[in-house]
Amino acid sequence: MSELAYKRTNVYETADKEKMEKIFAYAEGYRTFIDEAKTEREACVFVEEEAKKNGYKPFKFGMKLQAGDKVYYNNRGKNIFLIRVGNEDVGEYGVRVIASHIDSPRVDLKQVPLYEAEGIAFAKTHYYGGIRKYQWAAIPLALHGSVVKADGSKVEVKIGEDESDPVFYISDLLPHLAAKQNAKPLGEGLGGEDLNIWLGNIPYVAAEDDKDKTVKENLLHILNEKYGIKEEDFLSAELSLVPAFKARDIGFDRALMAAYGHDDRVCSYPAYTALFDETSEKHTVLVVLADKEEIGSEGNTGMQSVLLNDLIDEIARAFGASPAAVRANSKCLSADVNAGYDPNFRDVCEPLNSTYLSCGAGLTKFTGSRGKGGSNDASAEFVGEVRKMFSDEGVIWQTGELGRVDMGGGGTVAKFIAKMNIDTVDIGVPVISMHSPYEVISKADLYEAYRAFRAFIK
Ligand code: MN
Ligand code: MN
C-alpha cells in the first residue's frame, strides 16, 4: 500500500521477541490488580498501598506542595487521586490529568434484602450500571462490600473468592420449561426483580424452641456468628454481587485476557503504573480513579464532584498561579474502554471506524449518540497534539467510535472534565462483551495504553 494511505498496525504482528515479553509480563501485574480489586473500594485500598510503596504521602488540604512532591488523596475509600508535582510552571503549562473509573456494573443487595420462599433463603437486589440481566444468572457470584453496624463500626465482607468459600447464585429456567421465556425479547428474559440471590436452604433448629424454625432465621444466626451483624445492619450496608471468576488467558496463543470489570480497571491500571514508572519530572501529573461512572458520575465520589476542581485550585495556590490559568492550560486523557470490533456481531460495527483487538490503544474523538449528542468531541488541534506525543514515543494506537451511527452509543467522564476548560480526549483499551460478567481485552492493547499514558506525561 502507498505511503500516503492510512492503515492500522497490529501490535503482535510488529513486536519483536523483547516487546512480546514485555507485553506478557505487564499483563501479569494487571492480573493481580484485576483479581484483587473487584469493587471501587477494593481498588482504592490496592492503589493506596501501591502509592505508598512508590513514596506517595497522604495529601491534606492547605498543605504546602513543592516540585517533586508525590501525594495521594483517598476520597471516602471509593475514589483516589494521585498527584506528582513537576518542575515546570503550572500557571503556564497546567496539569496533565489521566482520568479513569474503578466502579463496574454489578448486582447490589437492597437495603432490606432477606426473605424466605418455600424453604429457600434469598436476597433481593438492585442492579448497578448497564447490565444485560440474563447474563448474570447461573454463574458463580461473590459477595463484596461493607456493613456499618448500629455502633458505627464497620465490617468488611469478601466471600466467594477463595476456592474453599461458598459462592452465590441467581437461577434461570431449564430449557424444558422455558418455552414462554424463550418467546420474550432477550432483554426481558429476566426482570430486575428476578435477580434474587440464593443464600441458604437449612432451617434453624433451636434446642428447645422451634417457633423460629426457618431458613432465614438460620441465616441470621450464621451472619451474626461470622460478622456480628443483625438484619437491621443491612440498612447501612453496601454489599455487591460480582462474578467469582478469576482473570484467565483466552485462546491457545494467550493473546487475550478475560476478567470481570476490565471496564474500566483495564485503563486504571496503566494510568497509575504509567505515573509510577515515568521518571520525567517535567509535568505536574494528576491521576484520578473515580467511582460511579457506571451510574452517571454522580455523587461526591464521582467525576462530577467539585473535588477535581478543588485539587487543581490547591495546586495553583501552592505556586501562586491563577487557578483559571492552570485549568485552561491543563490537558486530560479520559481513559475509558471502547467497544472492540467483534466479527460475530458485524452489523453493529462500522469497519473503518472501529477499534480492533491488538491494534493498540483506542482513541475516541467523540462518544455520544444520535448525531454525537452528549459528547465531548475533542478538537482536531488537541487530537493532533496527542497524536504527536504518541508518534514521538512510537505508541501504537488507533481510532474508533462506539458502534455504527444511530445503533446506540454511550458516554464517558470526558465531558465533565472538558467542562472545567480542560482539553480532553477519550483513549483506552478495546473490550469485547463489555458490561458482561466476563469481558475480554488484548494484552497488547493494555500495554500500548500504558505506553500512551507514559508518552502523555513524559
Ligand atoms: Mn467505562
Ligand atoms: Mn461501562
- Cα-to-centroid distance, 88 and ligand 1 (Å): 32
Q: What is the pLDDT of residue 148?
A: 98
At which residue does the C-alpha cell 458490561 appear?
Answer: 435
What CATH homologous superfamily does 106-243 map to?
A: Aminopeptidase i, Domain 2 (2.30.250.10)
Domain with CATH 2.30.250.10 in the chain: 106-243
Name the closest ligand to CA 266: 1
The 3-state DSSP composition of the chain as helix, strand, coil percent (nearest 5) reads 35, 25, 40
Hey, what's the cell of 375? 459528547
What separation in Å is there between the alpha carbon of 279 and the centre of ligand 2? 31
**Which residues are registered as beta bridge partners of 58?**
72
- Say how far apart CA 435 and CA 315 lie, in whole Å: 36
Report how far ligand 2's centroid is from the alpha carbon of 441 (Å): 14
By the 8 A CB rule, do 109 and 240 touch?
yes
Q: How far is the CA of 293 from the centre of ligand 1 (A)?
A: 7
Cell 513524559 belongs to residue: 458
Distance from the CA of 91 to the center of ligand 1, in angstroms? 31
Distance 264 CA to ligand 2 centre (A): 7
CATH of domain 11-104+260-457: 3.40.630.10
CA distances from 15 to 195, 252, 312, 362 (A): 45, 18, 39, 18
Q: State residue 205's pLDDT score.
A: 85
DSSP 320: T
8 Å CB contact between 240 and 144: yes
* Nearest CA among 194, 191, 197 for reference residue 116: 197
Cα(259) to centroid(ligand 2), Å: 14
CA distance 235 to 385: 50
Look up residue 247 and give its DSSP letter: P
Contact 15, 360 (CB under 8 A): no
Cis status of the peptide bond prior to 264, with omega within 30 of 0: yes
Ligand 2 centroid–CA 263 distance in Å is: 5
Ligand 2 centre to CA of 69 (Å) is 33
Q: Which three cell numbers stand for residue 15?
A: 513486536
Intervals of CATH 3.40.630.10 along the chain: 11-104+260-457
Contacts of residue 443, Cβ cutoff 8 Å, sequence gap at least 6:
23, 24, 26, 27, 254, 255, 256, 257
| CA angle, 72 then 415 then 358, to 5° | 80
Of the listed ligands, the closest to the CA of 129 is 2
Q: How many CB atoms lie within 10 A of CB 218?
A: 21
The phi-psi region of residue 205 (left if phi > 0; otherwise alpha if psi is between -120 and 50; otherwise beta) is beta
Instruction: Compute, in angstroms, the gap from residue 267 CA to the centroid of ligand 2.
Output: 12
Q: How wide is the angle at C-alpha 382 spanned by C-alphas 381 and 388, nearest 5°? A: 90
Query: What is the CA(292)–ligand 2 centre distance, in A?
Result: 10
DSSP string, 165-223: S--BB-----GGG-HHHHTS-GGGSS-GGG-PEEEE-PPP--SS--TT--HHHHHHHHH
CA of 83 to the centre of ligand 2 (A): 25
Q: Specify the length of the chain in residues.
A: 458
Tens-level pLDDT at each residue, the chain (458 residues): 788 999 999 999 999 999 999 999 999 999 999 999 999 999 999 999 999 999 999 999 999 999 999 999 999 999 999 999 999 999 999 999 999 999 999 999 999 999 999 999 999 999 999 999 999 999 999 999 999 999 999 999 999 999 999 999 999 999 999 999 999 999 999 999 999 999 999 999 876 666 778 999 999 999 999 999 999 999 999 999 999 999 999 999 999 999 999 999 999 999 999 999 999 999 999 999 999 999 999 999 999 999 999 999 999 999 999 999 999 999 999 999 999 999 999 999 999 999 999 999 999 999 999 999 999 999 999 999 999 999 999 999 999 999 999 999 889 999 999 999 999 999 999 999 999 999 999 999 999 999 999 999 99
- Ligand found nearest the CA of 433: 2
